[in-house]
Amino acid sequence: MKNLTIMMMRYNYFIKGLQAVTIKTIAISILLCMVVTPVSAQRKKDVSVDDVLAAMRKSSDYLANKVSLNGGYLWMYTEDFSEQFGEVPARKSQVWIQGTTPRMGELFLDIYRITGDKTYLDYAKRVAGVLIYGQHPMGGWHYFIDFDRKGLDEWYKKTASQFFRGYEEFRHYYGNCTYDDDVTQGSTAFLLHLYMETMDPAYFGPLKKALDFILISQYPNGGWPQRYPLMYDFVHDGLDDYTSNYTLNDDAMNNTIDVLLEAYDALGNKEYLEAARRGGDFFIISQGPTEIPAWSEQYDMNVQPDWGRTHEPPAFGARQTAHTVEMLMKLFLFTGDRRYLRPIPANLEWMESSKLKVLDNGDYEMARYYDPQTRLPIDFDILDKKSPEGYMTFHYFASDEKPFTGRTQPVNYAELKREFNQVSKLKSGEEIKLYAQRNKNVKKYPDPDKNKVIQLINGMNENGIWIEDLSVFDVKKTMFFDGPEARKTIRGFSVRTYMDYMNIFIGFINNSKK
């Protein structure tokens, strides 16, 4: 009974992660089955490319002209606009950089390139406008932009901080910029793409400012902090402020290196390439010892695994380790420098010996975290004792229990090994050709059949959007409950659903050209 209770508590605690994965990976067939408000009684039985283009414009016009705030977007809205949400409940004066606004700009730019309709280029420029407005004086971005600064402190106090667990990034407002969740990197990449498309000097200044920010914020050893300018004032739950730590978590450094490589390729500034290479050098020096040659999600100033948030203990992480291996191979392909391959064989051997089991699809199931001292998987207990601020607390410990019942992570070991075997055999001069082949910026879109597209068009309401039931946080409950108990259902629309469906329409258009 005790084990069942612990398992349920773990389920509740990590429901956020599961939901994030679900949002990103949910199958199109499931999306099409959502309950939506039909556009009219006249339902289409067939569609042409012109029908799809018209549907795309109707939906996009509504998003850009009725939903957008000064060119920016949130994640979800109720149908009557009485409530709105980013990763947490948002204010009407906010737009979210994390996860939405730069991605909308990229989507508009993609649709413009495919259709030639300059309206989409105008919508992309509006996104650039709000990003430039909200750019930090040093050049990066925060999770969101708020057009009513006077109410921000109160929102942090009464809304953003009111979560039983996690979300420490929303407990305290630093006023600086973040590399978490592709916020600064994604905004920089979009400005780069828009500038290269238009060659409009109005975008070069903010772009260079963003790239300079990346250079300035890099530590001498090649790592980057999670946030910059550096601040240390949010000591909580008995832990130091983690935001100045060298941070790999959620691909913070990978995304930074990616935008530097792309900027060097587009603009030719060798500083960007040198910074990217220093990032790779940090991966080399931060790899764990012979006994556990993996990588941590964050490191202290001595380059030792350190605490992140209270649910991120000092450990070597399977997910970020796999992503680091991928980035090392990418750096090798771009530079031809074989130093970036040297850490990989030992790591692959460690993955092989440390896997918990092989999943049905061939992936290795590994523990989310491994203890630096014992090399065993890390487990945890949720404690009855709360922190002085009312947040849940944890006890972490190395576990030799088999089967392991703690947090796990699938890793596509076979693909990592196959790719390493391929790239390690390349002859000098072949590397950059393979890099170019893999990174041609040719995006892949779904290849839907006509019936799916008909369903989507018939599911649009009179404004051209898709109304659905959405699960969101109920901030009145989040300090008392965790998981499903702290959520409520709203009737509204999701900007991410719009983006998913636009990609389906693009796929249909591309398929019709074949």
Asked if residue 437 lies in contact with residue 495, where contact means CB atoms within 8 angstroms, the answer is no
Cα 269 to Cα 169: distance, rounded to the nearest angstrom = 33
Quick one: pLDDT at residue 439?
A: 83
Rounded (10°) CA dihedral 73, 496, 160, 318: -130
d(CA 496, CA 485): 24
Confidence check: pLDDT of 270 > 50 = yes
Please tell me the chain's helix, strand, coil percentages from 3-state DSSP, rounded to the nearest 5. Answer: 50, 15, 35
The whole-angstrom distance between residue 182's C-alpha and the CA centroid of its chain comes to 6
**Beta strand 316-317 pairing with 487-494:** unpaired
Residue 167 scores a pLDDT above 70: yes
* DSSP state for residue 467 in the 8-state scheme: -
pLDDT band (50, 70, 90) for residue 6? very low
Q: Are 105 and 187 in contact (CB under 8 A)?
A: no
Q: What is the pLDDT of residue 42?
A: 65
Query: What are the pLDDT digits (tens) for 92-110?
Result: 999 999 999 999 999 999 9
Consecutive H or E run containing 321 = helix 318-335
Instruction: Report whether pLDDT(1) > 90.
Output: no
Contact 85, 472 (CB under 8 A): yes
Name residues whose C-beta falls within 8 Å of residue 322's C-beta, 6 or more positions apart in sequence. Answer: 351, 411, 412, 416
Residues 345 and 339 sit within 8 Å (Cβ to Cβ): no
CA distance 457 to 447: 16
Terminal CA-CA length for the chain: 59
pLDDT given at position 441: 66
Cα-flanking dihedrals φ and ψ of residue 227, to 5°? -130, 155
Average pLDDT for residues 145-149, to the nearest whole number?
Answer: 96
* pLDDT of residue 381 exceeding 90: yes
Rounded Cα distance between 406 and 381, Å, is: 10
Give the burial class of 2: count Cβ atoms within 10 A of its Cβ; 0-12 exposed, 13-18 middle, 19 or more buried: exposed
Summary mean pLDDT of the chain? 92
Evaluate the omega torsion of the peptide bond into residue 313 and state whether it is cis, within 30 degrees of 0.
no
Judging by DSSP bridges, how do beta strands 227-228 and 246-247 pair with one another? unpaired
CB 423 within 8 A of CB 333: yes
Distance CA 510, CA 368 (A): 39
Residue labelled with tokens 């956020």? 16
* Model confidence, pTM: 0.92
Provide, rounded to the nearest whole percent, the portion of the chain with pLDDT above 90.
Answer: 86
pLDDT recorded at residue 43: 85
Residue with tokens 């523990």: 367
How many helices and strands, by DSSP H and E, does the chain display? 17, 17
Averaged over 17-30, what is the pLDDT? 39
**Nearest CA to 219 among 302, 318, 320, 327?**
302
Phi/psi of residue 135, each to 5°?
-65, 130
User: On the CB side of 269, how many CA atoms lie within 13 Å of its CA?
Assistant: 14
Average pLDDT over residues 232-247: 95
**Residue ranges of the domains in the chain?**
1-217+444-514
Mean pLDDT for the stretch of residues 221-237: 96
Q: How many whole angstroms separate alpha carbon 452 and alpha carbon 432?
A: 39
Of 22-26, 151-155, 436-440, which range is least confident?
22-26
Quick check: helix, strand or coil at residue 267?
Answer: helix
Q: What is the DSSP annotation of 19-40?
A: HHHHHHH--HHHHTTS----S-
The pLDDT tens digits for 456-493 are 999 999 999 999 999 999 999 999 998 899 999 999 99
Beta-bridged to residue 85, according to DSSP, are: 76, 89
SS (H, E, C) 408-431: EEEECHHHHHHHHHHHHCCCCCCH
Report which of 378, 382, 380, 358 is spatially closest to residue 370, judged by C-alpha positions: 378
CA angle at 330 for the pair 327 and 331, rounded to the nearest 5°: 90
- pLDDT-based confidence at 513, cuts 50/70/90? confident
Residue 7: pLDDT band (50, 70, 90) is very low
Question: Could you report the per-residue pLDDT of 391-443, keeping only the tens digit for each?
Answer: 999 999 999 999 999 999 999 999 999 999 999 999 999 999 999 988 876 68
Q: In one letter, which amino acid is 265?
A: D
Q: Round to whole Å and give the CA distance between 136 and 394.
A: 35
